[in-house]
């Protein structure tokens, strides 16, 4: 909390107001004391005036001084009272739901500090409220998307099972075909449920990472090595530009492998074929940076980083029912948990995904 200078303190200011009002009252008393003394001497000399009249004159003189004191004091403190009223009114507005309302800061005393604290509280409350509303909206969207995505394969599984139940197949090959469809739809359903489970697990605020110190270069070489045959099968030629020097990072291996694997699988699913894939990994200042570039047939959306939104799926993914659209948003969350980053860029037919991890000393 900011400390207030003594001369700005409310107690000092009020003391000064009392002193000024007192001087004002004394000044007033001295102005009217001359006619008053004249009046008292008149009383003494004039047999017609009695002591009661003299007392009334004295009380009048004294009351004038008090009234002067009060008037000057009210004049001086009026601004503070008005400011206090403004603070009280604003607090009442905030309490009745007008979050985000602020009070103009006047002066440097305890009242302005109170106003500053109220402004901070009001803005924080507004932010929290907006955040909660957004969460609520996202949760509703999530439920709608989940229901839709789960219902699609389930409906077709039920449809094919009904055909089998009613014996509606012509020959053994058709029976086999139905079984295969049911099997692949079931796998898709399982993939969706697994992704959703992972997504909601990672969204929880108390998610924990199982951290260990690893040489990222050998880990990546191993993963890329496992994917090379699949890349080749899919007519993707890999240019491996992974550095040979050791780069140590502290990561949750399982989760980071998930990030890299989603990128490799995405490259397989969404690349133009045949084409080239560039994979590079190197240390840059205090970070370890992986870049994966693949070629695409058509330029992606205006804002390429929309791909990291939950349930975002491009046309290709939607048409082939390839993915759930959760892979990249899960990756984004994993990178946040590692204090790293993941983003995408597009240039001349190439999409480049960059994954940044903070580097540790060995």
Ligand X SMILES: Nc1ncnc2c1ncn2[C@@H]1O[C@H](COP(=O)(O)OP(=O)(O)OP(=O)(O)O)[C@@H](O)[C@H]1O
307 binds, among Mg ion, ligand X, none (CB under 5 to 8 A by kind): ligand X
Residue 150 beta carbon to Mg ion: minimum distance, rounded to whole angstroms: 18
Q: How near is the Cβ of 212 to Mg ion at its closest, in Å?
A: 25
When CB distances are held under 5 to 8 angstroms depending on the partner's kind, the choice from ligand X, Mg ion, none that residue 227 binds is: none
- The neighbouring-strand residues paired with 214 are 249
Contact between 314 and Mg ion per CB under 5 A = no
Minimum distance from CB of 280 to Mg ion (Å)? 20
Q: What distance lies between CA 313 and its chain's CA centroid?
A: 25
The CA–CA distances, whole Å, from 203 to 9, 199, 304, 306, 330 equal 47, 6, 23, 18, 9
> Which of 8, 305 has the CB closer to ligand X?
305
Distances (CA, A) of 170 to 21, 164, 174, 178: 108, 11, 6, 11
Which residue of 24, 153, 314, 327 would you call a contact of Mg ion, by CB under 5 A? Answer: 327
Calculate the alpha carbon distances from 28 to 14, 64, 160, 250 in Å.
21, 8, 103, 80
271 phi and psi, to 5 degrees?
-75, 155
- Nearer Cβ to ligand X (24/323): 323
Of 160 and 270, which has the nearer Cβ to ligand X? Answer: 270
Identify which of residues 215 and 276 has a Cβ nearer to ligand X in the complex: 276
Q: How far is the CB of 9 from ligand X (least distance, A)?
A: 58
DSSP strand pairing (248-252 vs 275-284): unpaired
Q: Enumerate residues 251-290 that contact Mg ion by CB under 5 A.
A: 262, 266
Q: What residues line the site for ligand X (CB under 6 A)?
A: 195, 262, 266-267, 270, 294, 296, 307, 312-314, 316-317, 322-329, 351
Distance CA 291, CA 353 (A): 6
Whose CA is closest to 279, among 262, 267, 296, 269? 267
| Shortest Å, Cβ 348 to ligand X | 14
**Smallest distance, Å, CB 233 to ligand X?**
17
Would you tell me which residues interact with Mg ion (CB under 5 A)? Answer: 262, 266, 323, 327
């Amino acid at each position: 909390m900011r400390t207030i200078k003594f001369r700005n303190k409310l107690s000092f200011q009020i003391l000064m107001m009392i002193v000024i009002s007192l001087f004002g009252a004394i000044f007033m008393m001295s102005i009217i004391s001359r006619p008053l003394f004249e009046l008292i001497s008149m009383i003494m000399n004039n047999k017609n005036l009695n002591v009661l009249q003299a007392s009334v004159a004295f009380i009048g003189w004294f009351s004038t001084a008090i009234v002067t004191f009060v008037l000057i004091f009210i004049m001086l403190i009026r601004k503070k009272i008005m400011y206090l009223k403004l603070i009280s009114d604003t607090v009442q507005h905030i309490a009745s739901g007008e979050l985000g309302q602020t009070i103009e800061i006047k002066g440097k005393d305890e009242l302005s500090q109170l106003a500053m604290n109220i402004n901070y509280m009001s803005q924080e409350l507004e932010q929290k409220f907006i955040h909660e509303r957004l969460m609520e909206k996202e949760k509703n969207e999530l439920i709608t998307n989940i229901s839709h995505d789960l219902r699609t394969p389930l409906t077709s599984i039920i449809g094919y099972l009904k055909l089998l139940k009613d014996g509606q197949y012509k020959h053994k090959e058709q029976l086999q075909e139905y079984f295969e469809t049911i099997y692949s739809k079931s796998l898709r359903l399982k993939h969706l449920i697994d992704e959703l489970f992972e997504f909601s697990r990672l969204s929880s605020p108390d998610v924990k990472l199982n951290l260990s110190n690893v040489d990222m270069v050998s880990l990546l070489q191993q993963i890329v090595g496992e994917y090379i045959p699949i890349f080749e099968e899919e007519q993707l030629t890999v240019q491996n530009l992974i550095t040979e020097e050791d780069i140590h990072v502290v990561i949750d291996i399982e989760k980071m492998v998930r990030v890299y694997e989603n990128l490799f699988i995405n490259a397989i699913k969404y690349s133009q074929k045949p084409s080239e894939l560039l994979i590079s990994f190197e240390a840059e200042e205090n970070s370890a940076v992986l870049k994966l570039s693949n070629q695409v047939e058509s330029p992606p959306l205006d804002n390429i980083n929309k791909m990291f939104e939950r349930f975002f799926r491009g046309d290709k993914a939607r048409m082939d029912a390839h993915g759930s659209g959760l892979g990249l948003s899960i990756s984004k969350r994993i990178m946040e948990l590692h204090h790293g980053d993941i983003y995408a860029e597009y240039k001349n037919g190439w999409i480049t995904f960059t994954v940044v991890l903070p580097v540790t000393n060995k």
